[in-house]
Structure 1
Amino acid sequence: MSLSKDEKKREPNAAERMLTAYLNSLQTQPILTKACTSGTIAGLGNFLSQVIVPNQGNGGKIVWRSVFAYGTFGFCISGPLIHHFYQMLEKMMPKKKDAAMLDGIKRVVMDRLICAPPFLLLFLYIVPILEGSGHVAAVKKIKETFIPVLLMNWKVWTIFQFININYVPLKYRVLFGNAIALIWSIYLATKRRQMAQ
């Protein structure tokens, strides 16, 4: 007895089903999907950083409040905010075939000068508040770290943002940025560990 065409079709595996569900969710609920993705990846990045560079002050225990703070920032602010920024950027500066490189540079300059500074301010203020440090400590952190962090952001992230804004399809840009952020978190934690040894 031979199998029909339908019987010969292979069932998708778990990874394929998850990818299909994710892509469908991006179409039907893009903001919620990007918020969930951003929150999950931000929390995971913080968790992995703590695993790679254990906090000696608390015996190397995972500070779950910090994982929660990063995840909450990703879910409530980073995912939705970046989604809307990319949407706005597409409307304000649509891609034109005849001036692709110049347009690409303009789009990245807008991201680096208009989006990055206030985004970093929000991050440097809200994450310490969520971690329990309070307003005074958050403001102190901004005063001490904002300029060096912004300069490092411009130095490291500009090339990734150029690729993201100009070559990654709009619906995947938040995911691409999150993936790079995860890799960057792991890289920084690894460097901190090497310096501490």
Structure 2
Amino acid sequence: MLRARVALSWSVLSSRQRPCRQPCPNMQESPVGPDGGERVEIAPPLPLWQRLGPVTRLAQAYGNSQKKRPYVTQTISSIFIFFSADLLAQSMSDDDYDPVRTARNVFIGAGTAIPAYQWFKFLATRFNYKSRVLSLGVKIVLNQLLFATYMNVYFFSMQALLSGDGISGAVQRVRDTLLTSWINSCKIWPIVMAFNLSYVPLEYRALFAGIINLGWQAYLSLLNRWAEVREAEAAETAAEAVALA
């Protein structure tokens, strides 16, 4: 009799479900919070750039346009950046406003749009190693050695050609400005590129770089103007020397 009772008690205990230390697959989370109230799911906070109201909406519109019409969007953006940069540069100069100079910058800016877009696409899909630091470092070095050099040569040579200085004038302009502009670009653009490639979505990278490029192009416009003045003074001095000879 005692043995039967023990067997019965053991069968009852073994039939009960033991509590799970971890959530069981068939268990659903209770909708009731720990304080007895209704549990409310809280979404993670959005990034700062998505919480800026009109600025966020403008950036999103730009991103959508960039996806649908990348070449048109990039060309319009570059024209606006180079136009604004030249206005800024001329406002910092004592010379009278020169609309022809602004037109040259706009034309040059339009020519940089598609190469810059294709370059960012190329960097996004290449040199993606297992080490994120290695990938970023290679992309930054290539950007400085190749793209920054190309852009500076293009900008200063086109400035000279569009001013009527010819091939020899374009070569001289690049000699006068390239090294200085490249060294100064190494102080700014590696940091910009590191942030851009690490945190900015692909469709916004050209926009982010363009915002920084506004100030940079103003500097290049001033540097080009200083080179023009030096070259004009050198040509005048040479002409006076020939006249006195």
Unaligned segments of structure 1, at least 5 residues: 1-12, 191-197
Structure with higher Rg: it is 2
**Are 1:93 and 2:127 matched, yes or no?**
yes
**Are 1:41 and 2:58 matched, yes or no?**
no
TM-score, reference length from structure 1: 0.75
> Which residue is 2:99 aligned to?
64
> Which residue is 1:82 aligned to?
116
CA deviations 1:98-146 (Å, max 9, x no partner) are: 5222211111111111211122111111122224443332211111221
Question: How far apart, in 2, do the equivalents of 1:16 and 1:103 lie?
Answer: 29
**Contact map agreement 1:38 1:75 (CA 8 A) in 2:** yes
Question: How far apart, in 2, do the equivalents of 1:34 and 1:113 lie?
Answer: 23
Aligned pairs for 1:2-151 within 5 A: 21-55=61-95, 60=96, 62-76=97-111, 78-94=112-128, 98-151=130-183
Q: How far 1:184 sits from its partner (Å)?
A: 3.6
Question: How far apart, in 2, do the equivalents of 1:122 and 1:112 lie?
Answer: 15
Question: How far apart, in 1, do the equivalents of 2:203 and 2:166 lie?
Answer: 35
Question: What do you get for the CA RMSD once the two structures are aligned?
Answer: 2.6
* Structure 1 residues 14 and 158: CA distance shift in structure 2, 3 A: closer
Q: Which has the higher helix share?
A: 1
* Structure 1 residues 52 and 68: CA distance shift in structure 2, 3 A: same
TM-score, reference length from structure 2: 0.61
Q: Share of identical aligned residues, percent? A: 24
CA deviations 1:63-83 (Å, max 9, x no partner) are: 11111111111112x211110
Structure 1 ranges of 4+ moved more than 6 A: 13-17, 187-190
Greater relative CO (CA pairs within 8 A, separation 6+): 1
Q: How far 1:26 sits from its partner (Å)?
A: 1.0
> Which residue is 2:233 aligned to?
none
> Which residue is 2:234 aligned to?
none
Give the number of equivalent residue pairs: 170
